[in-house]
């Protein structure tokens, strides 16, 4: 078994983003998520796409799903389509994106795989409700489903992990709970079938509550004797 770790990079300028990508590479990231919602300018997407041989995820997070800022929706989608055009392997689209089916089709026609995502910043729903979300994502054309909740109690970790155990035999799914109480699900999710997990470059560069550094994540997996490696 090989655990795959995605490192998000978030900065205001293209130069800063590329510097962070290089740091993530040096730390052994398997793939990198570029957060366009942090960028002041996205006119150099081609430059970012050519800066690394690692698979890249283009994410321009909606504000109501945890994005850095309010954006014009057409501009937000345009940047993601441009990323797909320039060779980003994955494009992350929120499940509540307007005209989602049309956007999914455009992204897939440009050659990127679609990660459909949903973030619950309030709590962790029951497992049956999470399964319905995954089913909806598949029906909307997801290549990969990403369902992220918020842990309010330890048992919320088990809900996320049980979901993965049930659905990953059929679909590629990412699921864990945010927050300090959700740490267990973040780290264990790939061990029960999650496609990959997320870890920051350093503690101060986390892009979500409870996100550990890639160094800490690797130390955890090494203690367990678990390998980590490139996306295949």
Q: Which residues are marked as active site?
A: 119, 146
Backbone angles phi, psi at 66, to 5 degrees: 100, 10
Rounded Cα gap, residues 93 and 58, in angstroms? 9
The answer to whether 11 and 38 have CB atoms below 8 angstroms apart is yes
Give whole-number Cα distances, 166 to 89, 159, 177, in Å.
26, 11, 17
**CA nearest 202: which of 61, 23, 15, 4?**
23
Q: CA Rg, the chain, in Å?
A: 16
3-class DSSP state for residue 95?
A: coil
Burial zone of 191 (CB within 10 Å; 0-12 exposed, 13-18 middle, 19+ buried): middle
With a CB cutoff of 8 Å and minimum separation 6, the contacts of 117 are 65, 92, 93, 94, 95, 145, 146, 147, 148
């Amino acid at each position: 078994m090989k655990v795959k770790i995605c490192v998000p990079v978030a900065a205001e300028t293209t130069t800063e983003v590329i510097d962070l990508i290089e740091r993530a590479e040096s730390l052994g990231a398997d793939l990198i998520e570029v957060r366009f919602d942090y960028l002041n300018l996205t006119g150099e997407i081609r430059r970012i796409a050519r800066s690394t041989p690692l698979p890249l995820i283009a994410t321009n997070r909606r504000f109501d799903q945890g994005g850095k800022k309010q954006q014009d929706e057409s501009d937000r989608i345009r940047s993601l389509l441009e990323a797909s055009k320039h060779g980003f392997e994955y494009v992350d689209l929120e499940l509540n994106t307007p005209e989602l089916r049309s956007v999914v089709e455009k992204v897939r026609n440009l050659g990127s795989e679609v990660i459909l995502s949903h973030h619950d910043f309030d709590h962790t729903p029951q497992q049956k409700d999470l399964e319905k979300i995954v089913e909806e994502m598949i029906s909307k054309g997801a290549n990969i489903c990403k369902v992220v909740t918020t842990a309010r109690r330890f048992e919320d970790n088990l809900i996320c992990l049980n979901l993965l155990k049930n659905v990953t035999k059929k679909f590629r799914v990412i699921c864990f709970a945010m927050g300090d109480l959700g740490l267990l699900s973040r780290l264990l999710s790939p061990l029960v079938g999650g496609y990959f997990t997320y870890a920051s470059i350093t503690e101060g560069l986390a892009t979500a509550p409870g996100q550990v550094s890639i160094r800490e994540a690797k130390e955890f997996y090494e203690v367990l004797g678990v390998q980590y490696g490139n996306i295949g």
